[in-house]
Chain A
Amino acid sequence: MKKLMSGNAALGEAAVLAGCTCYFGYPITPQNELTEYMAKRMPEVEGGVFIQSESEIAAINMVLGASVAGARAMTSSSSPGISLKQEGISYLAADELPAVIVNMARGGPGMGNISPAQSDYLQATRGGGHGDYRTIVLCPSSVQELADLVPVAFDLADLYRNPVLILGDGMLGQMMEPVSFDHITKGKDFPKDYILNGAKGRPSRMVRSLLFDTKEEEEHNWKLYRKVKRMEQNEVRYETTLLDDAEMVVVAYGTSARIAKGAIKRLRQEGLKVGLIRPITAWPFPKEIIKETANRVEDFFVFEMSTGQLIEDVQLSLEGKGRIHFYGRPGGVIPTPIELYRIISRHYYQSKRGKA
């Protein structure tokens, strides 16, 4: 059965169904509906905990505590609040603890406005906080996909014992779409041989990230690095649209991928062979498919609601091949499919002419 819900509320419901029992958050637009949904829903769940924290820093540290105690824990925020959470995210990664962190991004930097933007890409994909670590970053582009990726996020967090980010934006969080939760279940239980719950009948445990011995600290960092490599190898997710015969390929994620689909439909109607690669994981980035595509396609078109943070990853994936075109609108401006259609067709014809 489908229900009409906002992205934020759908995310909350999916989290509950995926076994999240702890939510800690501090209000910030445009993700308040999620905090409000959890305030209502958590008390209905067995062992459910909801706290409106005094700050984002407190919220992420409450997540850390709940996670070390063995619960599936989540927090959410928007850009400025995510900056505050980076301290705790770094500690979660260092302590090898699972957690899900949602960023419904807005037009930054600084306070930014409350309109949707994609300018937190580099912060999200490069670790964000201090130290050598990465987090898986899931980038849905519809309300249904948002709900679908929530149990995936919790499972990946448990599997790798690492924080997982869901990166959306104000548009995705606030738009209403029909969504089905029928297939969302808690999934399997992961071994919890690290949790702290009082050392009853077992040796005591300690969870820490400070290793005074540099050799030990180095080994710990290499261990985290090997985990990064495993995630890079196994967790790449992406979607392609009309790629087979494409002569120009748009790379876009989340809301901008959705806008790009609208533009591509129109471009195709006019006979322009444009396809799409949509990273679902912004990290690990789908390098291979872009590299492969570059064997036969020369023109790549990066489209992003920012001044161009995604370009870096596309460039790295191309390994010197291909040509990158870019269109971006930062600051919370939402480009229309028509606007994008016009820009892409101009670049398309220009590069054709260049070749002729």
Chain B
Amino acid sequence: MKQVYGRPKCLKEAHFHYCPGCGHSIVNRLLAEVIDEMQLRDKIICVAPAGCGMLLYNYFDIDTLESAHGRGAAVSTGIKRVLPDNLVFSYQGDGDLAAIGTAEGFHAANRGELISVIFVNNGVYGMTGGQMAPTTMIDQVTTTCPSGRNPALAGHPVKVCEVFAVLGGTSYLERVAVNKPSAVVKAKKAIVKAFQHQMNKTGFSLVEVLSPCPTNWKMTPIQSCKWIDEVMVKEFPLGVIKEVKC
């Protein structure tokens, strides 16, 4: 009998710690599939963040480093400059990349570092209990904006892809989602593309993934998936934001 679905080889026999319905699980799974399919297990190095995704070093059977909150792009830069033939990616949340690590991400992108960033945007600080992130929607309630995000006080949702798009060093920026099967298929293709841009030395690549956080959004997983389509996508349009010839 032909096997059509199974556990990716580069995932260890460990249980994910993510909450039910969390997008991180899907993104982890997609990454594992891509690493298997592109046969990258022996050459890839992952830089994990502080944030809900940090424990991914427990799941992947690949070389992995934990980085300080927000510093993933700088750490990846150091690794990649020493090992130009390896594939290096940092996995970062929206608090990580769009708040504390803005400078590191922005400048790695601008230098055209040959790294890929998998940027999981769930609109909140998941790990620390659902505080406001730079990507929180206007009027969205979080523990640190209990009456909803007020742009007059807390600014506007930060659009990382659009900001990075004007930087000369970026070669591939796409925003995807993982809230329904068709979107998940696109998300996987985007990860493949990002890695291809890195391997072809075209420039800095980043995939932004709109991802549900049912726990901190105080919604069911199904409501969360709907909310992405109904609210998030309006602020964060999906699709390729920038692609130069690879």
Contact = CB atoms under 8 A, between A and B. Distances in A.
Interface of A: 21-22, 24, 47, 49, 51, 53-55, 57-59, 61-71, 73, 87-88, 91, 95, 196-201, 203-210
Given A61-B71, A88-B68, A210-B54, A66 B107 contact: no
A199 B42 contact: yes
17 contacts: A51-B111, A53-B107, A55-B103, A57-B104, A58-B77, A64-B71, A64-B75, A65-B80, A66-B78, A66-B82, A68-B79, A91-B67, A199-B63, A200-B43, A204-B60, A208-B57, A208-B65
A65 B63 contact: no
Nearest to A55: B103
A198 B42 contact: yes
B131 to A, nearest CB: 20
A51 B113 CA distance: 11
B81 A22 contact: yes
Interface string B52-75: 001001101111111110010011
Contacts of B57: 206, 208
Contact of A65 (B42, B44, B76): B76
Q: Which of A197, A198, A209 has the most CB of B within 10 A?
A: A198
A321 to B, nearest CB: 43
A206 B76 CA distance: 14
Given A22-B81, A57-B74, A63-B78, A68 B103 contact: no
B83 interface: yes
A66 B42 contact: no
Contacts of A55: 103
Interface residues of B, number: 37
B45 A61 contact: no
B41 interface: yes
Interface of B: 41-45, 47-48, 54, 57-58, 60-68, 71, 74-83, 86-87, 103-104, 106-107, 111
A204 B9 CA distance: 13
Q: Is the interface of B mostly helix, strand, loop or mixed?
A: mixed
B75 A65 contact: yes
Contacts of A209: 66
Contacts of B80: 65
Contacts of A68: 65, 75, 78-79
A49 B84 CA distance: 11
B93 to A, nearest CB: 15
Contacts of B43: 198, 200
A123 B66 CA distance: 25
B25 to A, nearest CB: 19
**Closest 9 A-B residue pairs measured CB to CB?**
A65-B78, A61-B74, A208-B66, A69-B82, A62-B78, A198-B43, A196-B63, A54-B107, A66-B78
A100 to B, nearest CB: 14
A61 B42 contact: no
Contacts of B78: 22, 24, 61-69, 73
B82 A47 contact: yes
A198 B79 CA distance: 11
